[in-house]
């Protein structure tokens, strides 16, 4: 699919282009394996001399069509699906870091990613330094070491809703000869395309807006094809022979798609966090309506944020679409058409009042999820972050009075009426 198409067209047309007599809708290739006539044909696939399907852990036509659609939406050269966003984040780093290596990461990221990077990957011998994303270029640069292999950040962080200065992060990463990896889950490529601002690799939890109907956990990694892995000796996994694939040198044999090819042929082969073709099919249905839904999520969130800001029982509101928000200017630059459907706010009266408010909601449900068509909310202090003290919560940017509201696709006035009656009911 040619790149000149606009996102709305790519969302419905890219990835699957049937020929005469083939199904109009992307089929679910619910098959673990694929048939060949001779062993010679199969051998050429194993030697990476031919492309073709042989086993779904490595590649599957349904998954590949959906990955191609996401690559087209982000403006990348190649993509791969993973079983979850967590798997995408792990692979994205592990593809270029091994024991003894280090990477730098914004501290404003999803809690699950924070744990993966700060605890689990440390056990594998890969070290991370978390930096305040709003710090100066000099301060962030000071975290780099000779063994640093990547810089990582989230376009809009979950749940703290901080907007990443992508150009600043790209400058820092490139001045140290490493790629910038950006988690673009919250804005989706409908609202931000980080490659246009200098990012090199993009990761997604497709579980969120891309699926959008809370049916399928999944992830995706997209390669811009722009990073030169041969510019220094930091990436031997890509630039020297891979003995597990008959000495292939990925940068020599695969050029601009070296990173994704290595990630598929090595990490998927060995670790197997593959997305089921059925989930890929459902994600594809979600992608078809992504632009329409994202616009409605954002319009609802904007109206609700404005309503909350003027309410006497609300202590504070965080939403980068509000003039006066700390990230309003950055959002105007990187997210001029809207940010996401998630708003966070504090209820006056602290932890007790926040819990009481949520208990009175009738339309918005209490869930550990965001980006669903149905509005949902979470009180992090009593759920995802319940092991922390109030002081620790404050320091982590998740204060005890905070409610995270993921605005769905319902009518905005109905949602406001629900919030109004729940606030009224707090005594
Ligand atoms: N990245 C972000 C920004 C997220 O919000 C999440 C989950 O909430 C993840 C990654 C992890 O994705 P998954 O739940 O699909 O593993």
pLDDT digits (tens, 9 = 90+) for 69-111: 999 999 999 999 999 999 999 999 999 999 999 999 999 999 8
- The beta-carbon contacts of 130-139 under 8 Å, at least 24 apart in sequence, are 130/105, 130/106, 131/104, 131/105, 131/106, 131/107, 132/106, 132/107, 133/106, 133/107, 133/108, 133/162, 133/164, 133/165, 133/169, 134/162, 134/165, 137/168, 137/171, 137/172
Please say whether the beta carbons of 329 and 302 come within 8 A. no
Ligand 1 atom nearest the C-alpha of 157 is 3
- From the list 357, 334, 356, 354, the residue with the least C-alpha distance to 346 is 354
Question: How much distance in Å is there from the Cα of 205 to the middle of ligand 1?
Answer: 5
Question: How much distance in Å is there from the Cα of 372 to the middle of ligand 1?
Answer: 13
Cβ of 158 below 6 Å from ligand 1: yes
The string over 133-153, giving b where at least 16 C-beta atoms fall within 10 Å of a residue's C-beta and e elsewhere, is bbeeeeebbebbeeebbbbbb
Nearest CA to ligand 1 atom 1: 205
Q: Please give the Cα distance from 190 to 371 (Å, whole number).
A: 14
pLDDT band at 317 (very low <50, low <70, confident <90, very high): very high
Q: In angstroms, what CA-CA distances link 26 with 2, 29, 278? A: 19, 9, 11
Q: Strand order of the sheet with strand 365-366?
A: 314-318, 342-347, 402-406, 376-378, 365-366
Cβ of 159 below 6 Å from ligand 1: no
Cβ of 106 below 6 Å from ligand 1: no
Question: How much distance in Å is there from the Cα of 47 to the middle of ligand 1?
Answer: 34
Residues 6+ apart with CB under 8 A from 341: 209, 294, 297, 298, 300, 301, 370, 371, 406, 407, 408
pLDDT band at 253 (very low <50, low <70, confident <90, very high): very high
Please say whether the beta carbons of 338 and 188 come within 8 A. no
Cβ of 375 below 6 Å from ligand 1: no
What is the mean pLDDT of the segment spanning 125-133?
97
Say yes or no to pLDDT of 1 above 50.
no
Question: How much distance in Å is there from the Cα of 153 to the middle of ligand 1?
Answer: 13
Q: pLDDT by residue (tens digit) across 254-282?
A: 999 999 999 999 999 999 999 999 999 99
What is the mean pLDDT of the segment spanning 401-427?
97
Place of tokens 């969120």: 208
Q: pLDDT by residue (tens digit) across 346-355?
A: 999 999 999 9
The rounded percent of the chain whose pLDDT value lies above 70 is 99
Cβ of 113 below 6 Å from ligand 1: yes
DSSP state of 152: E
Question: How much distance in Å is there from the Cα of 338 to the middle of ligand 1?
Answer: 20
Which carries the bigger pLDDT value, residue 50 or residue 276?
276
pLDDT of residue 382: 87
Ligand 1 atom nearest the C-alpha of 206 is 15
Q: pLDDT by residue (tens digit) across 354-392?
A: 999 999 999 999 999 999 999 999 998 888 888 778 887
Beta bridge partners of 248: 242
What is the mean pLDDT of the segment spanning 102-131?
95
The string over 26-35, giving b where at least 16 C-beta atoms fall within 10 Å of a residue's C-beta and e elsewhere, is bebbeeeebe
pLDDT of residue 386: 80
- From the list 263, 270, 264, the residue with the least C-alpha distance to 95 is 263
pLDDT of residue 3: 52
pLDDT band at 243 (very low <50, low <70, confident <90, very high): very high
Say yes or no to pLDDT of 2 above 60.
no
Say yes or no to pLDDT of 11 above 90.
yes
Question: How much distance in Å is there from the Cα of 271 to the middle of ligand 1?
Answer: 19
What the block records as the tokens of 398 is: 């998740």
Q: Report the DSSP pairing between strands 402-406 and 376-378.
A: antiparallel
Cβ of 216 below 6 Å from ligand 1: no
What is the mean pLDDT of the segment spanning 159-184?
97
pLDDT band at 296 (very low <50, low <70, confident <90, very high): very high
Cβ of 284 below 6 Å from ligand 1: no
pLDDT of residue 391: 82
Cβ of 286 below 6 Å from ligand 1: no
User: For the chain, how big is the Rg over CA atoms in Å?
Assistant: 22
Residues 6+ apart with CB under 8 A from 166: 153, 155, 180, 182, 194, 197, 198, 199, 334
Q: Please give the Cα distance from 203 to 278 (Å, whole number).
A: 21
């Amino acid at each position: 699919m040619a790149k000149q198409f606009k996102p709305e067209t790519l969302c419905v047309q890219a990835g699957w282009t049937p020929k005469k007599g083939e199904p109009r809708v992307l089929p679910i290739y619910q098959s673990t394996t694929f048939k060949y006539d001779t062993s010679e044909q199969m051998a050429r696939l194993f030697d990476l001399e031919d492309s073709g399907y042989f086993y779904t852990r490595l590649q599957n036509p349904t998954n590949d069509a959906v990955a191609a659609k996401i690559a087209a939406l982000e403006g990348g050269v190649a993509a791969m699906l993973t079983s979850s966003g967590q798997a995408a984040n792990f692979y994205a780093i592990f593809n270029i870091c091994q024991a003894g290596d280090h990477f730098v990461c914004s501290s404003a990221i999803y809690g699950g990613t924070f744990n993966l990077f700060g605890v689990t990957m440390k056990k594998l011998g890969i070290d991370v330094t978390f930096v305040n994303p709003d710090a100066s270029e000099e301060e962030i640069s000071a975290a780099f070491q000779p063994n640093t292999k990547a810089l990582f950040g989230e376009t809009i962080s979950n749940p703290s809703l901080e907007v990443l200065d992508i150009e600043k992060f790209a400058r820092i990463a490139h001045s140290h000869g490493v790629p910038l990896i950006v988690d673009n889950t919250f804005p989706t490529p409908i609202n931000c395309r980080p490659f246009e601002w200098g990012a090199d690799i993009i990761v997604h939890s497709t579980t969120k807006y891309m699926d959008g109907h809370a049916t399928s956990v999944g992830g995706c990694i997209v390669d811009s094809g722009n990073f030169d892995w041969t510019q220094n000796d930091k990436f031997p996994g890509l630039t020297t022979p891979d003995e597990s694939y008959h000495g292939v040198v990925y940068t020599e044999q695969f050029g601009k798609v070296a990173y994704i090819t290595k990630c598929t042929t090595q990490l998927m082969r060995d670790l197997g966090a593959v997305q089921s073709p059925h989930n890929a099919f459902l994600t594809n249905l979600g992608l078809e309506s992504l632009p329409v839904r994202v616009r409605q999520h954002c319009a609802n969130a904007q109206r609700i944020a404005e309503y909350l800001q003027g309410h006497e029982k609300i202590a504070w509101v965080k939403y980068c679409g509000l003039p006066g928000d700390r990230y309003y200017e950055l959002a105007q630059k990187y997210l001029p058409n809207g940010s996401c459907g998630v708003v966070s706010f504090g209820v006056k009266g602290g932890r007790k009042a926040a819990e009481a408010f949520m208990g009175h909601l009738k339309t918005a449900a209490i869930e550990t999820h965001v980006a669903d068509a149905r509005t949902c909310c979470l009180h992090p202090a009593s759920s995802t972050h319940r092991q922390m003290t109030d002081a620790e919560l404050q320091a982590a940017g998740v204060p005890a009075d905070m409610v995270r509201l993921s605005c769905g696709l319902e009518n905005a006035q109905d949602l406001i009426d629900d919030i109004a009656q729940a606030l009224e009911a707090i005594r």
